[in-house]
Chains A and B, each alone.
Chain A
């Protein structure tokens, strides 16, 4: 049970405000999801390089881990630390090695995301506090998704928070409750897709990644999800070039969207959209059930 917000910027002049607007949208979703919050920001990338976002139990701990990682894999690689998370800018071909190295040397650190442009920040705590601690408001980018969480069946932990990323530059947030995620988790494990938590959303993320690895487009994978995933869900999926929205056929969980010439926005409640520029003249609508919506940058 949660709140979701998403913002896809069409007008490049609005990109520096992505973080600020997303943080404001998320602030209105605190009461539907007071346990934890997460932010996925698609910022600037660098040719040949990938950002590896890792998290640890504390700022001091992750700073140390990042330092040792860089020394072992790619001395001189740029690192940015925000609270318990560190983003390390590695050469794309070094990412596999880095993840294995981390697993072997610092199992208490988690890989939160990897990708050319994606950075994910998520922590336990009241969403406003989490946003401030990560200084989300200062971040810029082309699109971003945020999530506030009220845990249903799995624990309130950092790793249980959304967004979940199961492939480079991909992430997923979810409002609702899947009813067959335990079986799906086992099936995915048999096919080599590993999940780290008991969280139903992680299963959905893994499912979509698996489908896309098998050759489906994101839209096709979401459509397959309508057959294979059971329960109530509103999904917002982020990819390197854009974001997608899907509601289950029964569509009990709320969803509202707004579009202007400058942006497309998604939120669980209209209240979250009121901070956006020109919202009074925006086209506001509710996505239809069992229909895939997708926006991307060329």
Chain B
């Protein structure tokens, strides 16, 4: 159970130690204390570890994460879980902008609010935000699922591809080519499965969510849609 104090050792040493672990390591529970808003904490991890970070982190915590379960006992700066491939990141506080940006797999849970551009260019990640999300979230979202218990800011799902968006609260406005869609049984099942993963099974009526997706009008250029560009 290694512990790492970032007040004493630099982030470089932490990441180097995490990267050196063999695939079958026994050191699967790490604690990182005094993160003090540092950037690039636990990036590029590729091992089935649990990493508890005791405090607030800076930019890109858990960037390109594979397999690891990273718990942030605090808030996260810009780009938490950016390009995550698999694994899980749990932010107990708030997440700053571009949370889960371009991520291709795994699960990102934010207990508080996420800021602007949540899930921007998402490529397969599942994101669950229990608070609100900011403007331009899911911009160019290709794949994956974004679930928001609270409100969404302006231009949700602008230029959306095939990501699934579910928002329970009001949406300030929808982006280009993003429309509300019918919430059918298969979508409710999807919601139930993801709420369970977020530890919220049975606590929320999934019918309260509204589904948003791509109208697919921008998939092949047509001059009559030029106003959307």
Interface residues, chain A, with chain B CB atoms under 8 Å away: 28, 251, 254, 256, 269-274, 284-286, 288-289
Contacts and interface: CB of A to CB of B under 8 A. Distances in A.
A284 B75 contact: yes
Contacts of A284: 75, 93-94
Contacts, number: 42
Q: Which of B56, B58, B75, B94 has the most CB of A within 10 A?
A: B56
Interface in B33-48: 36-39
Contacts of A269: 37, 58-59, 77
A294 B78 CA distance: 24
Contacts of A270: 37, 56, 58, 75, 77, 96
Contacts of A285: 94
Contacts of B77: 254, 269-270
B115 interface: yes
Q: Is the interface of B mostly helix, strand, loop or mixed?
A: loop
B175 to A, nearest CB: 13
Nearest to B56: A270
B135 interface: yes
Given A270-B77, A274-B37, A289 B94 contact: no
A260 to B, nearest CB: 15
B116 interface: yes
Contact of B58 (A251, A271, A288): A271
Interface string B148-173: 00000100000000000000000000
Interface size of B as a range: 10 to 19
A285 B95 CA distance: 10
Interface in B20-39: 36-39
A269 B134 CA distance: 18
Interface string B89-128: 0000110110000000000000000011000000000000
Nearest to A270: B37
A251 B135 contact: yes
Contacts of B56: 270, 274
A269 B37 CA distance: 8
B115 to A, nearest CB: 5
Contact of A274 (B36, B97, B116, B135): B36
Given A269-B77, A270-B75, A286 B37 contact: no
B37 A251 contact: no
25 contacts: A28-B37, A251-B97, A251-B116, A251-B135, A254-B77, A254-B96, A254-B97, A269-B37, A270-B37, A270-B58, A270-B75, A270-B77, A271-B58, A272-B37, A273-B37, A274-B37, A284-B75, A284-B93, A285-B94, A286-B94, A286-B96, A286-B97, A286-B134, A288-B134, A288-B153
A140 B59 CA distance: 32
B38 A256 contact: no
Contacts of A288: 134, 153
Contacts of B134: 286, 288
A289 B135 CA distance: 9
B37 A271 contact: yes
